[in-house]
């Protein structure tokens, strides 16, 4: 099995871009990644793309070049981009190709995500009754977590304020204005205890990486970033997850816990070795919970970590240095690749104003979404 390196990363800014198509954004992200890697589209031998809003991503070849390569589409909700990376990396691992592209793109209408519940095997009454709302699950999960582990709303506000501050340092972010903790707490409650400014919003954007067989990566770059782990897990019996009418009495851990453990095992490292972290912050509570689910702290310790500023860019455990979903929004197909784009910048020392000090060596990215699917990617210099 070949090892895999990322030799190029590109990102189309996240936000709102009028009539510009998701494909145009995706092609720009790929062009940026190719330029970053110093290769041409004609050199790419395999591609994998993901999106919710477009039927399939491979019409991108009409914009980039009709080279006839195998181009696979994946959709795995919020874990779509992480899945595209895994498929492209696997093509290299198994010797199908030496150079591959993973791309994610999306262009969502405004407001909370919605679709026909039948498309995800949920009964129509669930939506008619007002329960087919992903954000209310996040409200229930963090509400219970705060009760069980003594987390305050102030900590949720600290997470959101941090991510808005980091977003202000990121020219590609959707929200670039710092918002104070008090303003976050005073914004309308959408799903108690979560307020409007604690949530990310669906938006538009694209991101891509160029992957390469690790043993030839030096031909293209003196700063390869190695893919040390890529794992995907779905919910187990006993986990209470998004989009479910019921749960078992006996509780099991969330899929992130299993994806995380498997990723550490694959990479042969532990959470103490990680220098910069990207977590799924669909809402501020999700970042709090995911800190523990990914092994970065014990349940309840987040209250102290946030108060101390440990998760700030200059803290000992920098989390969502580019502003995360809260400042970037979530074009579902692209979100996990935005995380990896940021980690590549950080590990190469190219993150500008938001560079984590001390030459970070190991980066960690986690995504989580409906109906209980999580993915973890670990990268290192």
Q: Which is nearer to another protein, 94 or 245 (CB)?
A: 245
Residues numbered 56 to 75 that lie near another protein (CB under 8 A) are none
Q: Which is nearer to another protein, 191 or 294 (CB)?
A: 191
Query: Minimum distance from CB of 113 to another protein (Å)?
Result: 9
Query: Minimum distance from CB of 182 to another protein (Å)?
Result: 19
Single residue of 35, 40, 186, 248 touching another protein by CB under 8 A: 248
| x-or-dash string of contact with another protein, 186-205, rule CB under 8 A | --xxxxxxx-----------
Q: What is the DSSP string of 280-298?
A: --SBHHHHHHHHHHTTSS-
Query: Minimum distance from CB of 128 to another protein (Å)?
Result: 4
Q: Which is nearer to another protein, 71 or 145 (CB)?
A: 145
Q: Looking at the DSSP assignment, which residues form a beta bridge with residue 76?
A: 78
Nearest by Cα to 46 from 90, 14, 9, 80 = 90
Instruction: Tell me, by CB under 8 A, how many residues bind another protein.
Output: 34
Residues 268, 177: Cα–Cα separation, whole Å: 39
Q: Which is nearer to another protein, 24 or 140 (CB)?
A: 140
Residues 338, 325: Cα–Cα separation, whole Å: 9
Single residue of 56, 94, 124, 152 touching another protein by CB under 8 A: 124
Please classify residue 304 by burial: count the beta carbons closer than 10 Å to its beta carbon, then call 0-12 exposed, 13-18 middle and 19+ buried: exposed
Indicate if the alpha-carbon torsion angle 64, 27, 380, 292 is positive or negative.
Answer: negative
The answer to the question of residue 10 lying near another protein (CB under 8 A) is no
Query: Minimum distance from CB of 233 to another protein (Å)?
Result: 22
What torsion, rounded to 10 degrees, do the Cα atoms 143, 145, 197, 133 define?
-60
Token pair 């808005």 in the structure block, residue? 164
| CA angle, residues 16, 19, 24, in degrees to nearest 5 | 85
| x-or-dash string of contact with another protein, 126-155, rule CB under 8 A | -xxxxxxx--x--xxx-xx--x--------
Binding site for another protein (CB under 8 A): 111-112, 114, 116-117, 124, 127-133, 136, 139-141, 143-144, 147, 188-194, 240, 244-249
């Amino acid at each position: 099995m070949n090892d895999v390196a990322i030799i190029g990363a590109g990102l189309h800014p996240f936000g709102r871009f009028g009539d510009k198509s998701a494909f145009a954004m995706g092609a720009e992200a790929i062009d940026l990644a190719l330029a970053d890697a110093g290769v041409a589209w004609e050199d790419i031998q395999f591609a994998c793309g993901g999106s919710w809003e477009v039927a399939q991503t491979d019409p991108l070849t009409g914009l980039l070049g009709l080279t006839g390569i195998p181009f696979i589409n994946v959709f795995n909700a919020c874990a779509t981009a992480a899945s595209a990376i895994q498929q492209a990396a696997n093509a290299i691992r198994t010797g199908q190709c030496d150079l591959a592209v993973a791309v994610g793109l999306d262009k969502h209408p405004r407001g909370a995500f919605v679709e026909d519940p039948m498309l995800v095997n949920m009964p129509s009454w669930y939506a008619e009754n007002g329960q087919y709302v992903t954000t209310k699950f996040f409200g229930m999960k963090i509400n219970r977590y705060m009760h069980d582990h003594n987390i305050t709303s102030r900590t949720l506000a600290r997470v959101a304020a941090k991510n808005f501050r980091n977003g202000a340092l990121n020219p590609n972010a959707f929200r670039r204005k710092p918002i104070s903790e008090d303003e976050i707490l005073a914004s309308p409650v959408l799903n108690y205890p979560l307020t409007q400014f604690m949530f990310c919003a669906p938006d538009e954007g694209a991101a891509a990486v160029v992957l390469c067989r690790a043993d030839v990566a030096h031909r293209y770059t003196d700063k390869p970033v190695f893919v040390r782990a890529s794992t995907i897990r779905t919910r187990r019996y006993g986990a209470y997850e998004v989009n479910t009418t019921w749960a078992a009495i006996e509780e099991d851990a969330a899929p992130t816990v299993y994806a995380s453990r498997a990723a550490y095992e694959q990479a042969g490292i532990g959470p103490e070795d990680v220098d910069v972290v990207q977590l799924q912050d669909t809402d501020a509570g999700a970042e709090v919970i995911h800190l523990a689910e990914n092994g970065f702290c014990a349940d309840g310790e987040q209250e102290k970590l946030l108060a101390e500023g440990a998760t700030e860019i200059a803290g000992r455990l920098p989390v969502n240095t580019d502003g995360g979903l809260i400042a970037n929004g979530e074009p579902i197909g692209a979100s996990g690749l935005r995380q990896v784009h940021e980690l590549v910048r950080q590990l190469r020392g190219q993150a500008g104003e938001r560079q984590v000090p001390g030459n970070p060596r190991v980066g960690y990215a986690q995504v989580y979404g409906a109906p209980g699917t999580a993915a973890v990617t670990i990268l290192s210099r």
